[in-house]
């Protein structure tokens, strides 16, 4: 007997300016913890987590956390090409980080072509606004209007409380899977955006192993 570990593997990338909260978002999603101290990402960090979509299909997410600094752009471009989706991340207390989202989106589209990437717009640091620690610079309605214009979901999150974090990643994952079902996406040789899963001999419980987040650093 052979038990599947996962049915598909999706590769997603998080993009946005430096210090907007990408690493903290990933830390909460994979570890369930908030990183009180987080060093700026240098190059690219890698995380992984196993989740299920609506019909119970198991998806392994490869999650790439990219540096927002300009000097690392040549490194991160190579990670776009094999991604199927991107979370466009900004800080709701920092207007410039929101104003740069169109550039990040255009760059992702350019490098992920000919595939049409799945996007979600993610506003971070909601807790700072709720606790009156910082003023909100991007009204929720403004961000939601941008998302509606581009036909993508908008989710506000807090990596401190966990608010919206699960929704952000699951919305992208579900949309990728829906596009597989519709025939828009398929597994292709030479493209790592979507891969089929693999199996291991039955009788061994690998669930804990796969549930543990993986993390590596590059560059």
Angle at 82 between CA 81 and CA 85, to 5 degrees: 95
Q: What pLDDT does residue 79 have?
A: 76
Rounded to whole angstroms, the Cα distance separating 33 from 160 reads 8
Rounded to whole angstroms, the Cα distance separating 138 from 162 reads 20
Classify the C-alpha dihedral 106-25-5-7 as positive or negative: negative
Burial environment of residue 206 by CB neighbours within 10 A (0 to 12, 13 to 18, 19 or more): middle
Q: Taking Cα atoms as reference points, which of 174, 163, 80, 90 lies closest to residue 127? A: 163
**Radius of gyration of the chain, Cα coordinates, nearest whole angstrom:** 17
pLDDT 10s per residue in the chain (219 long)? 455 589 999 999 999 998 999 999 999 999 998 876 555 544 567 889 999 999 999 999 999 987 654 444 555 677 788 899 999 999 999 999 999 999 999 999 999 989 999 999 999 999 999 999 999 999 999 999 999 999 999 999 999 999 999 999 999 999 999 999 999 999 999 899 999 987 655 444 434 334 444 454 444
E runs forming strands in the chain: 2-4, 8-15, 44-52, 58-66, 85-91, 118-124, 154-156, 194-196, 199-201, 215-218
Rounded to whole angstroms, the Cα distance separating 47 from 60 reads 11
Going from the C-alpha of 188 to that of each of 10, 110, 175, 191, the distances in angstroms are 12, 19, 18, 6
User: Do the Cβ atoms of 61 and 173 come closer than 8 Å?
Assistant: yes
Contact residues for 143 (Cβ-Cβ < 8 A; gap 6+): 90, 92, 98, 121, 123, 154, 156
Within 10 Å of residue 186's Cβ, how many Cβ atoms?
9
Rounded to whole angstroms, the Cα distance separating 50 from 35 reads 21
Q: What pLDDT does residue 199 have?
A: 61
Q: What pLDDT does residue 76 have?
A: 60
Rounded to whole angstroms, the Cα distance separating 189 from 199 reads 19
């Amino acid at each position: 007997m052979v038990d599947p570990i996962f049915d598909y593997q999706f590769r997603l990338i998080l993009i946005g300016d430096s210090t907007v909260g990408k690493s903290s978002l990933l830390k909460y999603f994979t570890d369930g913890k908030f990183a009180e101290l987080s060093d700026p990402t240098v190059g690219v960090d890698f995380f992984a987590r196993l989740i299920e979509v609506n019909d119970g299909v198991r998806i392994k997410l490869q999650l790439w956390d990219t540096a927002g600094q300009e000097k690392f752009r040549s490194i991160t471009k190579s990670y776009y090409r094999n991604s199927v989706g991107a979370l466009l991340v900004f800080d709701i207390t920092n207007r410039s980080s929101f104003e740069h989202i169109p550039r990040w989106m255009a760059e992702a589209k350019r490098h992920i072509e000919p595939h049409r990437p799945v996007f979600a717009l993610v506003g971070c640091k909601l807790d700072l606004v709720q606790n009156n620690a910082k003023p909100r610079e991007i009204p929720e309605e403004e961000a939601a209007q941008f998302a509606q214009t581009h036909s993508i979901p908008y989710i506000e999150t807090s990596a401190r409380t966990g608010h919206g974090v699960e929704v952000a990643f699951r919305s992208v994952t579900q949309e990728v899977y829906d596009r597989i079902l519709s025939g828009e996406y398929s597994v292709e040789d030479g493209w790592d955006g979507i891969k089929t899963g693999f199996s291991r001999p039955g009788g061994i419980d690998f669930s804990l192993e796969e549930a543990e987040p993986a993390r590596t650093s590059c560059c």
